[in-house]
């Protein structure tokens, strides 16, 4: 490793060990492009949303695709299709953080419209075929639009969602004066008794957040293979930010949030689980993920599937990163007696890692070393694991604050006080992570560091933590405004009823079997890429394939939920 360090000073500009001071100019250069009751209100809303599929948007995407085809014509003639695929996702620099914010704002905007339809018009009670179509359109379809036809106009798409939400809110509520309670699905009615409220609740906004995170992942992993999906949304090569870079980190952050539940249960029981027991349990959770990692490795190599080696390495893949997280988190539990804050431990871990990157030859080794042995072949996956572990710990820390029913220990606190405390807690953490990110990345009054998902460095960890906190806060605000009944529930049955009424069926299904859905999406993505030349697909074909793909994945997720099947990997 020292050998690569001595070459650092003479090659920095050539090999890109230092991030560019500004990516703005380059980014600009590469910027591509029921029917129910007496009302036809819902139909008009559907027509209003459907009108967003305007001819000019499709036409603009078609010409952008044709222009891209001309750019890649030489590449098409010069190399194999596999090489074209690899080049298509290589050497990318991403887009701006603000644009990623506008695109992902579609999720809260769509949830807001869903919530207005449900709270004011009871549109999804009972849940019908029309309800499912609208549910799918709002949760999955809108994000698909945001990353394809409306990738250049995310603000317009947000307005197309917010405008009908505002109009429906102004109209008289069809639920006014109704005394009828929301009914549970048959499988839930038999399982929930009107008993005391559990200490750890399943909160609607967390289901919404995790469900949308899965939808983002499912859409992006296939859409990225089409020219309709802008290159600035795909994973960057080394330095910069992109939508898919955020998606990978968000997957780990959300896993950390739910991983706080067993920690909270252990604390509530007052019994400490021995390290060996905890380690064995974590290994049992890791084995299926590691097996999936090896299956993916063998499949990619055996089928000569296009791969981006600089993403994780020659053999490493995201399943290995997920699989190694539980054992390392179990080992870190022993440190919590010394450093009780998961967030502080995450900062200490990634801060030390960043110091090594800046003051040793580690950065040069990860980015430029010849791939001569197992470690050097998989150096990106091995060393970026440190950053992903920090992201997991940061998510676990937030989960400890927001999963418990009572955020405050005061016995006199009302439901309203608990809601306000919950919102303030999330907002404070969002602010903390944002301030830290600003300090670390600012060239004017900070360290001037640049985000690197490939390294999973300090700026990347802070960016992921800040973004996810703000996203969760947005969902929580919508939840508390439109569905306060959940937080005022007096027993387990009424809470379950309120939860069912305030949660999108599609989002709940994605959240329930998230990892299984992720696996199915990966299999379908591979199948599509092996049967369709995605690089040569027109916008119409691309949208058709993506709609069929997302409908299939969503259908599987919903069926698993309807039949009360939970697949735990």
Look at residue 195 in the predicted model and tell me its pLDDT.
Answer: 66
Enter the tokens of residue 313: 């390495």
Which residue has 């027509």 as its token pair? 47
DSSP states along 464-491: HHHHHHHHHHHHHHHHHHH-GGGTT--S
Give the Cα separation of 489 and 267 in Å (integer): 25
User: What is the average per-residue pLDDT within 414-438?
Assistant: 93
* pLDDT at residue number 569: 64
Tell me which residue range forms the domain holding 351: 37-175+182-403+413-562
User: Does the pLDDT of residue 483 top 70, yes or no?
Assistant: yes
164-194: pLDDT as tens digits:
999 999 988 876 544 444 444 444 444 445 5
Question: Is-contact 506 211, C-beta < 8 A?
Answer: yes
Q: Is residue 7 part of a domain?
A: no
Report the range of poorest mean pLDDT among 269-273, 374-378, 498-502. 269-273
Average pLDDT, integer, range 501-515? 95
Q: Is 191 exposed, middle or buried (0-12, 13-18, 19+ CB in 10 A)?
A: exposed
154 token code pair = 């995310």
Number of domains in the chain: 1
Q: Higher model confidence: residue 399 or residue 37? A: 399
First to last CA, the chain: 37
- Quick check: 470 and 430 in contact, CB under 8 A? yes
**Would you say residue 50 has pLDDT above 80?**
no
Structure confidence at residue 19 (pLDDT): 60
Query: Which is higher by pLDDT, 274 or 549?
Result: 549
| pLDDT for the residue numbered 79 | 53
In this predicted structure, the answer to whether residue 560 has a pLDDT above a threshold of 60 is yes
Pair 530, 225: CB distance under 8 Å? no
Q: Which residues pair with 241 in a beta bridge?
A: 95
Which of 466, 522, 513 is CA-nearest to residue 101?
466
Question: CA-to-CA distance for 93 and 410, rounded, in angstroms?
Answer: 50
Between helix 379-402 and helix 342-359 the angle, nearest 10°, is 160
The whole-number pLDDT of residue 541 equals 97
HSE-CB of 237 using CA atoms within 13 angstroms: 16
* Residue 135 resides in a domain: yes
Q: Please compute the mean of the pLDDT values over residues 125-136 and round it to a whole number.
A: 94
Measured over the CA atoms of residue 538, residue 543, residue 546 and residue 552, the dihedral's sign is negative
Per-residue pLDDT for 527 more than 50?
yes
Let me know: does 144 contact 547? Beta carbons within 8 Å. Answer: yes
Residue 12 lies in a domain: no
Residue 537 lies in a domain: yes
| pLDDT of res. 487 | 86
Report the run of H or E that residue 431 belongs to, with start and end.
helix 415-441
Confidence of residue 11 (pLDDT cuts 50, 70, 90): very low
- The answer, yes or no, to whether residue 315 has pLDDT greater than 90, is yes
Q: Which residue has the higher pLDDT, 47 or 228?
A: 228
Q: What is the mean pLDDT of residues 32-57?
A: 40
Instruction: Quote the percentage of the chain above a pLDDT of 70.
Output: 81
pLDDT at 9 > cutoff 60: no
Q: Is residue 361 part of a domain?
A: yes
Between 28 and 90, residue with greater pLDDT = 90
- Residues 433-475: tens digit of each pLDDT: 999 999 999 999 889 999 999 999 999 999 999 999 999 999 9
pLDDT at 306: 78
User: Does residue 27 carry a pLDDT above 50?
Assistant: no
Question: Which pLDDT belongs to residue 44?
Answer: 42
Angle between helices 275-302 and 318-332 (to 10 degrees): 170
Distance CA 209, CA 215 (A): 10
- The pLDDT assigned to 513 comes to 93
Average pLDDT in the 505-526 region?
94
Q: Residue 390 domain-assigned?
A: yes
Distance separating alpha carbons of residues 532 and 176, to the nearest angstrom: 51
Please give the mean pLDDT across all residues of the chain.
84
At 456 the three-state DSSP class reads coil
The answer on pLDDT for 364 being more than 90 is: yes
d(Cα 393, Cα 398) in Å, to the nearest integer? 9
Closest among 393, 381, 358, 357 to 465, alpha carbons compared: 393
Question: What is the secondary structure of 332-383 as a DSSP string?
Answer: HGGGGGT---HHHHHHHHHHHHHHHHHHSTHHHHHHH----SHHHHTHHHHH
**Residue 27 covered by a domain:** no
More confident residue, 381 or 83: 381
Does residue 104 lie within any of the structural domains? yes
Separation of CA 357 from chain center: 27
Three-state SS letters, 154-216 = HHHHHHHHHHHHHHHHHCCCCCCCCCCCCCCCHHHHCCCCCCCCCCECCCHHHHHHHHHHHHH
Cis before 298? omega within 30: no
Cα separation, 13 vs 7, in Å, equals 12
Per-residue pLDDT at 201: 83
* pLDDT of amino acid 47: 36
Looking at residue 123, what is its pLDDT? 93
- Per-residue pLDDT at 13: 39
């Amino acid at each position: 490793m020292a050998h690569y360090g001595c070459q650092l000073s003479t090659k920095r500009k050539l090999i890109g060990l230092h991030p560019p001071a500004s990516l703005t100019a380059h980014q600009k250069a590469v910027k591509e492009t029921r029917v129910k009751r007496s009302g036809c209100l819902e139909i008009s809303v559907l027509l209003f949303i459907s009108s967003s599929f305007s001819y000019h948007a499709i036409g603009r995407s078609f010409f952008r695709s044709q222009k891209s085809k001309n750019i890649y014509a030489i590449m098409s003639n010069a190399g194999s299709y596999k090489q074209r695929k690899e080049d298509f996702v290589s050497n990318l620099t991403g887009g701006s953080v603000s644009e990623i914010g506008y695109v992902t704002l579609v999720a809260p905007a769509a949830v807001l419209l869903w919530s207005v339809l449900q709270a004011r018009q009871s549109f999804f009670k009972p849940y019908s075929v029309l309800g499912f179509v609208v549910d799918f359109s709002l949760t999955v379809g809108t994000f698909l639009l945001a990353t394809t036809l409306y990738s250049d106009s995310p603000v317009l798409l947000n307005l197309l969602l917010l405008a009908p939400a505002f109009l429906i809110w102004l109209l008289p509520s069809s639920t006014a004066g109704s005394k009828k309670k929301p009914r549970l699905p048959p499988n839930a009615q038999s399982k929930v008794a009107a008993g005391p409220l559990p200490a750890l609740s399943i909160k609607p906004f967390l289901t919404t957040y995790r469900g949308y995170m899965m939808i983002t992942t499912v859409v992006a992993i296939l859409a990225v293979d089409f020219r309709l999906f802008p290159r600035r949304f795909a994973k960057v090569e080394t330095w910069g930010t992109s939508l898919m870079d955020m998606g990978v980190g968000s997957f780990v952050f959300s896993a950390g949030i739910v991983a706080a539940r067993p920690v909270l249960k252990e604390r509530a029981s007052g019994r400490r689980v021995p390290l060996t027991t905890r380690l064995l349990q974590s290994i049992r959770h890791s084995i299926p993920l590691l097996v999936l990692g090896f299956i993916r490795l063998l499949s990619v190599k055996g089928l000569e599937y296009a791969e981006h080696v600089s993403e994780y390495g020659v053999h490493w893949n995201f399943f290995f990163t997920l699989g190694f997280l539980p054992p390392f988190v179990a080992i870190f539990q022993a440190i919590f007696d010394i450093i009780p804050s998961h967030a502080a431990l995450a900062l200490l871990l990634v801060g030390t890692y960043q110091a090594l990157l800046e003051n040793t030859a580690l950065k040069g080794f990860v980015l430029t070393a010849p791939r001569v042995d197992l470690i050097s072949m998989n150096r990106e996956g091995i060393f970026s694991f440190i950053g992903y572990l920090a992201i997991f710990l940061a998510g676990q820390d937030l989960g400890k604050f927001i999963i418990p029913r009572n955020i405050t220990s005061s016995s006199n606190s009302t439901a309203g006080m608990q809601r306000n405390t919950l919102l303030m807690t999330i907002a404070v953490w969002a602010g903390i992570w944002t301030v830290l990110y600003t300090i670390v990345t600012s060239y004017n009054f900070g360290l001037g560091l640049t985000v690197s998902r490939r390294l999973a460095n300090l700026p990347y960890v802070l960016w992921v933590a800040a973004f996810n906190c703000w996203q969760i806060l947005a969902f929580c605000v919508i939840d508390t405004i439109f569905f306060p009944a959940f937080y005022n529930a007096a027993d387990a049955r009424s809470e379950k009823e309120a939860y069912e009424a305030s949660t999108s069926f599609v989002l709940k299904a994605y959240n329930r079997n998230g990892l299984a859905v992720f696996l199915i999406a990966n299999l379908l993505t591979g199948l599509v890429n092996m049967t369709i030349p995605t690089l040569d697909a027109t916008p119409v074909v691309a949208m058709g394939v993506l709609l069929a793909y997302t409908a299939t994945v969503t259908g599987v997720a919903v069926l698993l939920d309807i039949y009360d099947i939970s697949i735990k990997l």
